Each structure stands twice: as C-alpha cells, then as structure tokens.
Amino acid sequence: MPTADLPTADLMQDTTETDFSEQGRLLFAGPCDFIFASAKASDLPPIGPPEVAFAGRSNVGKSSLLNALTNRKTLARVSNTPGRTQQLNFFALGGAPDAERLRLVDMPGYGYAAVGKEKVANWSQLMRDYLKGRASLARVFVLVDGRRGVKPLDEEMFDLLDQSAVSYQAILTKHDELKRAERDEVLAATMKALAKRPAAFPELIFTSAQSGEGIAELRAAIARLIAERNA
C-alpha cells in the first residue's frame, strides 16, 4: 500500500490496516514446544506471554488444525485420545522459556459419547476455572465442523465463553469436504448463530488442515491479536 500521501497519524501502528500475514508466518515458523499439561485449574503454568486457546467437539479437526498451524505432524498427539485424562495442554511458540512469544492452549474436546457424567463435570470445572481467571488469555478459537455447522454443544461452549466474558472466534473446519454452495450456507448459518453473542468476534475463518485453506489467515489473525495486546 502506498503510504506517501497518508497523513502522519495513519502511519502510526494501525493494526486494523496492517497486513499480518508475514508476521503470522514468522510467528509459526519458529520453535513450538510442549511446556505444560493442566488437569486442574489450581495447577496452571505461571502467567507468561499471551495465550490463544482452541476448543471444539471431539473429531472437529482440532489436532489436525494445530498440526497444520504449527507445521508439525504430531504436535497435538499428546491430547489425541478421546476420553483420556482431560487436560489443558500448553505449547510455547518462539522458543521457551526465554524467547517465548505466544502460547497455544489445546483444550480438551467435548461431546465424546463414551465420556461419563463425572468427566463432563471435571471438564466444566477445568474450563470454567481457566476461562475465569486467565489474564493472559487473548482469545479462544472455537472450532466448528464445516460439514455439521453449529450444534447444541457448540452453543453451550459459546454460552460458557459469553458468561466468562472471554473473547472468542469461530473457526470452521474441513473446508475441502464441502462444495461452494455448502460453504456459503454454513458460513451464513454460523454468522447468524454468533451475531447476538456479546463476546464473539464477528469474523469467521474457514480452514482445512488438508488443503491448507485459511491456515495463513489464522496465523495472521493470531499475529494481529498479539500486536494489539502489545500495542
């Protein structure tokens, strides 16, 4: 963008106008290390750099997306077995501990059929406690299966986030599985489901771990978030 004829004020860090794709690429090109697992909120890692968390139903494609985002094959494997101990898994980007710039938090999936009442209660407690007290949490990305759209369990997640007043943004997954008209339909329906929700960020990102669709966009969105927090 030519900047020569812009007034000086517009040359100052205006994050709404800046293109963050290069920052996003660089952010995820560096090291990414597993640093911590929390099974209860009394056992969280000390507050560090900004955190972005990823939530969604089991099978929504969360592990695949985290791997695509970080260019790794097995980053999210640690949390991959449904019904296993439910925990928040923390990953440090940029080189832990000294050069750490961002943390990714892999939240336990929900809606896995074989999970009993007790586990659901544990899940709720862990999520509530983490969401309520985490000053460094910049945003929760809620993954929604592009083939299914927003389901009641997703609505419950949105409710929890609205109650916790934590900024969140929906990400549609499995873009490659859908025809164009189906994409338009699920995009419109998801936008509608989020329209009146106070803590929802009014933009969607449609992704595919398979084709890479939306991955650069998601990296850029995260880079923008960090820049805005540090501004």
Residues that bind ligand GDP (CB under 6 A): 56, 58-64, 109, 173-174, 176-177, 208-210
Q: Looking at beta carbons only, is 51 or 106 nearer to ligand GDP?
A: 106
Shorter beta-carbon distance to Mg ion: residue 174 or 224: 174
- CB closer to ligand GDP, 48 vs 83: 83
Distances (CA, A) of 108 to 12, 60, 94, 199, 223: 40, 12, 24, 21, 24
Q: How far is the CB of 211 from ligand GDP (least distance, A)?
A: 7
Helix (H) or strand (E) holding 214: none
| Nearest-approach distance from CB 151 to ligand GDP, in angstroms | 14
Q: How far is the CB of 227 from ligand GDP (least distance, A)?
A: 27
Distance CA 61, CA 214 (A): 14
Task: Give the Cβ contact number of residue 71 at 10 Å.
Answer: 11
With respect to ligand GDP, which residue has the nearer C-beta, 101 or 175?
175
Nearest approach in angstroms of CB 66 to Mg ion is 8
DSSP 130-154: HHHH-TTEEEEEEEEETTT---HHH
**Other CB atoms closer than 10 Å to residue 3's CB: what's the count?**
8
**Taking CB under 5 A as the rule, does residue 80 contact Mg ion?**
yes
Helix (H, G, I), strand (E, B) or coil at 206: strand
The minimum distance between CB 204 and Mg ion, in angstroms, equals 21
Closest to Mg ion by CB, 80 vs 125, is 80
Angle, helix 180-194 to helix 152-164, in steps of 10 degrees: 40
Q: Which of Mg ion, ligand GDP, none has residue 122 at its interface (CB below 5 to 8 Å by kind)?
A: none
* Closer Cβ to Mg ion, 55 or 193, answer by number: 55
The DSSP secondary structure of 59-71, one letter per residue, reads: TSSHHHHHHHHTT
21 binds, among Mg ion, ligand GDP, none (CB under 5 to 8 A by kind): none
Point out the residue whose Cβ comes nearest to Mg ion: 63
> Least distance in Å: CB of 206 to ligand GDP?
10
- Burial class from Cβ neighbours inside 10 Å (0-12, 13-18, 19+) for residue 17 reads exposed
- 70 forms part of the interface with Mg ion (CB under 5 A): no
Cα–Cα distance measured from residue 83 to residue 96, given in angstroms and rounded to the nearest whole number: 29
> Contact positions toward Mg ion, by CB under 5 A?
62-63, 80
